[in-house]
């Protein structure tokens, strides 16, 4: 038997036999697109979020776009968000015809700096899209105090935050809109998919229209279209996976938390001082530990570092390059130097492996390899 170590990816979904069987049952039923499983998943998610209305979609991107549309955001409006996110967070603002405005990030949490957010508000500002980076929530008290002061809608990009909490309350169970992703690397997944937590039945009905061509039906043969919708519905096959994943949410998040704690223990209290690297905020109360980030020292080339880790069969990610430095956003007037914290973090951040089926030995292997590169 070979003693050669297997490749360790930075993320990997946990799929059990019950989930596989559930998808097979859906396929045998003949009802493959949106149907009873979607309705069941929405009901279970509503329970998770304290009874608030929830609608599922085929991505966690369209959820944010639809929230903006429900809020009436469009041309002439500004929406403030963070430059430290997947580009979808800003793209949806452009999609609805509004103007994206960025505020720099906090150097420790990597979430939007709420003081800089407030400073960016103008008379045209109508909404804010904060991101709960790696499942670590923004300061929700401060965020919603700003929103109330300036009468702003909040669309929480909670793509990474299912199961995260703020002062004992589950993210999504309070506040304004909350958008979650079920893409394959998230804490629970449907392959591709997402959900939007809404405020009332009227918003939920409008969300249903936007996700399926603006259609509403009455009786057996009554149909109308009164808004411009798209094709964003979730399939029953995806929902079947989601139901199986949702049953294991607390288990998955508990394992992630334990692995994250082992990362800190294995790196040791002196790692940052010795290496010049930065570890994440050690929040074991609110975060669901979606990812474990390390910001490399300025003198380390990230590409070279990632290659050295790959040479020992450890896969890394980087989340994220600063959005405003992409060509699409440079063409809108954004420039290097505008958001220096996000730029520094975006240039030097790496995502270490973290997923429920990992072992403590895997963590120790990763830490040993990181230290051999940096110390």
List, by residue number, the catalytic residues: 186
Alpha-helical runs (H) found in the chain: 17-29, 36-48, 62-70, 88-95, 114-119, 140-150, 201-211, 236-247, 249-267, 271-275, 302-311, 327-330, 340-348, 360-374
DSSP letters for 74-117: -TT-EEEE-SSS-THHHHHHHHTT-EEEE--B-TTT-SB-HHHH
DSSP letters for 195-257: EEE-SSHHHHHHHHHHHBTTEEEETTTEEEE-S---B-PPPHHHHHHHHHHHHTHHHHHHHHH
Classified as helix, coil or strand, 294 is strand
Please give the span between the terminal C-alpha atoms of the chain, in angstroms, as a whole number: 33
């Amino acid at each position: 038997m070979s003693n050669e170590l297997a490749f360790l990816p930075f993320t990997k979904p946990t799929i059990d036999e019950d989930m596989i069987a559930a998808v097979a049952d859906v396929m045998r039923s003949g009802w493959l697109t949106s149907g009873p499983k979607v309705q069941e998943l929405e009901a279970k998610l509503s329970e998770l979020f304290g009874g608030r209305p929830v609608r599922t979609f085929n991505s966690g991107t369209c959820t944010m776009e639809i929230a903006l549309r429900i809020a009436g955001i469009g041309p002439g409006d500004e929406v403030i968000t963070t430059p430290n996110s997947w580009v979808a967070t800003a793209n949806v603002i452009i999609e609805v015809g509004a103007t994206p405005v960025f505020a720099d990030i906090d150097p420790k949490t990597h979430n939007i700096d709420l003081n800089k957010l407030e400073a960016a508000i103008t008379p045209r500002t109508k909404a804010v899209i904060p991101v709960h980076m790696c499942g670590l929530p923004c300061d929700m008290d401060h965020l919603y105090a700003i929103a109330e002061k300036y009468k702003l809608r909040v669309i929480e990009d909670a793509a990474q935050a299912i199961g995260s909490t703020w002062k004992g309350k589950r993210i999504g169970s309070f506040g304004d809109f909350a958008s979650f992703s079920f893409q394959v690397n998230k804490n629970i997944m449907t392959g591709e998919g997402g959900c939007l937590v809404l405020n009332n039945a009227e918003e939920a009905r409008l969300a249903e229209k936007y996700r399926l061509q603006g259609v509403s039906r009455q009786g057996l043969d009554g149909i109308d279209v009164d808004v411009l919708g798209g094709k964003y519905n979730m399939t029953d096959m995806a929902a079947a996976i989601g139901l199986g994943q949702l049953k294991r949410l607390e288990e998955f998040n508990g394992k992630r938390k334990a692995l994250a704690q082992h990362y800190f223990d294995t790196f040791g209290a002196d790692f940052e001082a010795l290496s010049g690297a930065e570890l994440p905020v050690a929040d074991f109360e609110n975060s669901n530990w979606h990812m474990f980030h390390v910001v490399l020292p300025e003198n380390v080339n990230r590409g070279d570092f990632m290659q050295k880790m790959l040479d020992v069969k450890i896969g890394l990610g980087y989340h994220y390059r600063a959005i405003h430095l992409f060509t699409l956003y440079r063409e809108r007037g954004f420039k290097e130097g505008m958001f220096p914290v996000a730029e520094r973090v975006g240039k030097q951040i790496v995502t270490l492996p973290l997923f429920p089926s990992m072992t403590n030995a895997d963590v120790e292997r990763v830490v040993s390899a990181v230290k051999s590169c940096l110390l």
